[in-house]
């Protein structure tokens, strides 16, 4: 329950939650000037208090992190201002418990709902209708509304979304729902009644107008990246290009540096190889560490990778990097990562009992061979639900451009290779063109920069470590 000045409505909201429907109630008080936190504690609720106001989105971030840290399987958001009907919570849970949904939300416009009759302010009614119509057209969906604040999520859904990087304002709700739709989460709406009272929270007309424009703008950008209905997955449309076949090139028993497979096509000239299993295109070269010149671009490149990691909830701050420079070490420490475990190759095998919350692969290099089976070796370094962040060039379709890419991947073969290693791809995003030269210094012989054309570029792939049957998390 994200709360702000909810003292007058909290008790009746909690009283109307059906008995036994929740194992735990968590309330985050966003620096309310009233006695919301004290009342919640008196009601036996687990209370977290922000020392200063962080906004509606910032409040939800703390709510979801707290629920995930408590090992929740399903997380329901219910406003304590009594605007949404607490008795409708079982309706949200039903599709999730049946295994048919990853995210559900209560719609005030579906079924027999009468938002205006329930007291919805006219500016919110108009803004809701206009925004929902436009976003449905962009997303090829048919939701009756897309701006409900009553929602339920599976643990897997929240862990698949970078909600920590979303806005701290009201835009948070739109960003989360739009990303859930465009990345392939199963989203279902459930009819709920509408109830607005004098105590119910509401934003003014000017803030509503700003919210509408920003929501539509964010939706348009995500659709441009992910496409409409037929393309919903973490992989964006720019990833459609795949490395070309090497034709009748001979198949050699060479270890792929990415997946460890032995079946690798070798080009006649011997310079270019392509893995049949995962699609990696590579050339054998020595590995040179990034030099300390051009530090500004290098720092921005490293910050962009670390920022991608910061968008996701992790259980701790232990980081393993397969390659290390003084620059990366400094910036990881500044981001509060514990890099005491940074190591590579043989050192990793000597300390297999240690697990990490995140593994960072700044570039695909021959050093990955030290892990034996590639991605499976990286997965063994991770805690369940830990993050793997991998940076690699994606090859353009033309064979000539592949000569410039010593290590190149394609999206869908990579997703398959990750699944086989018990890793789930949750994000596939491209670095800005201005940072591709910085990435080039991490590659063998300083080469491999990608031309910014359709189907090519430098990609940051983020994957979650799936819980293994023998290590399954106990239900909370």
Instruction: For the chain, give every domain's residue range.
Output: 2-231, 238-471
Q: What is the pLDDT of residue 369?
A: 44
Q: What is the pLDDT of residue 324?
A: 76
Q: What is the mean pLDDT of the chain?
A: 78
Q: What is the pLDDT of residue 454?
A: 41
Per-residue pLDDT averaged across 365-381, rounded?
65
Per-residue pLDDT averaged across 263-290, rounded?
54
Q: What is the pLDDT of residue 178?
A: 95
Per-residue pLDDT averaged across 182-196, rounded?
87
pLDDT band at 187 (very low <50, low <70, confident <90, very high): very high
The predicted model scores a pTM of 0.79
In the predicted model, is pLDDT for residue 451 greater than 70? no
Q: Which residue has the higher pLDDT, 414 or 99?
A: 99
pLDDT band at 70 (very low <50, low <70, confident <90, very high): very high
Highest mean pLDDT of the ranges 44-58, 185-199, 356-370:
44-58
**Sheet containing 356-361: which strands, arranged edge to edge?**
319-321, 356-361, 382-394, 457-465, 423-430
Q: Which residue has the higher pLDDT, 244 or 10?
A: 10
Highest mean pLDDT of the ranges 14-28, 196-210, 260-274, 279-293:
14-28
Per-residue pLDDT averaged across 382-400, rounded?
75
Q: What is the pLDDT of residue 244?
A: 46
In the predicted model, is pLDDT for residue 290 greater than 50? no
Per-residue pLDDT averaged across 357-383, rounded?
73
The tens digit of pLDDT for each residue in 129-144 reads: 888 999 999 999 999 8
Contact 199, 9 (CB under 8 A): yes
In the predicted model, is pLDDT for residue 398 greater than 70? no
Q: What is the pLDDT of residue 76?
A: 97
Q: What is the pLDDT of residue 323?
A: 77
In the predicted model, is pLDDT for residue 262 greater than 90? no
Give the span between the Cα atoms of 378 and 359, in whole angstroms. 7
Percent of the chain with pLDDT over 90: 41
The domain 2-231 is classified under which CATH number: 3.30.70.20, 3.40.50.300, 3.90.550.10, 3.40.1440.10? 3.90.550.10
Highest mean pLDDT of the ranges 79-93, 314-328, 430-444:
79-93
The tens digit of pLDDT for each residue in 144-172 reads: 888 888 999 999 999 999 999 999 999 99
Per-residue pLDDT averaged across 101-114, rounded?
82
Per-residue pLDDT averaged across 331-360, rounded?
70
Q: What is the pLDDT of residue 295?
A: 56
pLDDT band at 325 (very low <50, low <70, confident <90, very high): confident
**Which range (24-38, 61-75, 207-221) has the least confidence?**
207-221
C-beta neighbour count of 61 within 10 angstroms:
20
Q: Which fold has domain 238-471?
A: Rossmann fold (3.40.50)
Q: What is the pLDDT of residue 109?
A: 80
Q: What is the pLDDT of residue 211?
A: 85
């Amino acid at each position: 329950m994200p709360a702000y000045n909810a003292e007058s409505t909290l008790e009746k909201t909690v009283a109307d939650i059906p008995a036994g429907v929740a194992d735990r109630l968590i309330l985050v008080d966003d620096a309310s000037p009233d006695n919301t936190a004290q009342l919640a504690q008196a009601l036996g609720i687990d209370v977290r208090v922000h020392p200063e106001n962080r906004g509606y989105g910032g409040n939800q971030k703390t709510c979801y992190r707290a629920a995930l840290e408590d090992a929740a399987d399903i997380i329901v958001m219910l406003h304590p201002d009594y605007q949404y009907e607490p008795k409708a919570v079982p309706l949200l849970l039903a599709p999730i418990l049946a295994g048919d949904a990853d995210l559900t939300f209560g719609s005030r416009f579906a079924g027999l709902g009468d938002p205006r009759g329930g007291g919805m302010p006219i500016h919110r009614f108009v803004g809701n209708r206009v925004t929902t119509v436009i976003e449905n057209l962009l997303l090829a969906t048919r939701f009756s509304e897309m701006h409900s604040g009553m929602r339920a999520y599976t643990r897997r859904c929240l862990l698949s979304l970078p909600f920590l990087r979303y806005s701290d304002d009201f835009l948070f709700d739109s960003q989360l729902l739009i990303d859930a739709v465009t990345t392939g989460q199963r989203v279902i709406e459930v009819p709920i009644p509408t109830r607005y009272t004098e105590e119910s929270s509401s934003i003014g007309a000017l803030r509503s107008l700003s919210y509408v424009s920003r929501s539509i703008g964010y939706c348009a950008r995500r659709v441009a990246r992910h496409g409409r209905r037929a393309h919903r997955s973490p992989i964006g449309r720019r990833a459609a290009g795949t490395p070309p076949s090497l034709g009748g090139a001979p198949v050699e028993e060479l270890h792929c540096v990415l997946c460890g497979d032995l079946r690798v096509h070798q080009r006649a000239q011997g310079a270019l190889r392509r893995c049949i299993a995962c699609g990696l295109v590579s050339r054998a070269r020595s590995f040179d560490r990034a030099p300390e010149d051009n530090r500004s671009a290098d720092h921005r490149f490293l910050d962009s990778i670390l920022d991608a990691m910061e968008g996701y909830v992790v259980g701790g701050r232990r980081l393993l990097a397969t390659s290390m420079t003084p620059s990366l070490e400094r910036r990881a420490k500044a981001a509060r990562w514990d890099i005491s475990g940074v190591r590579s190759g043989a050192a990793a095998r000597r300390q297999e009992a240690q697990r990490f919350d995140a593994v960072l692969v700044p570039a695909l290099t021959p050093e990955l061979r030290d892990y034996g089976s590639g991605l499976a070796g990286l997965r063994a370094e991770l805690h369940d639900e830990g993050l793997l962040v991998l940076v690699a060039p994606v090859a353009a379709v033309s064979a000539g451009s592949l000569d410039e890419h010593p290590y190149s991947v394609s999206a869908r073969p990579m997703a398959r290779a990750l699944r086989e290693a018990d890793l789930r791809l949750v994000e596939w995003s491209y670095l800005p063109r201005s940072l591709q030269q910085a990435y080039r210094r991490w590659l063998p012989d300083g080469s491999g920069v990608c031309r910014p054309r359709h189907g090519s570029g430098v990609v940051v792939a983020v994957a979650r470590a799936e819980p293994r049957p023998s290590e399954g998390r106990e239900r909370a």
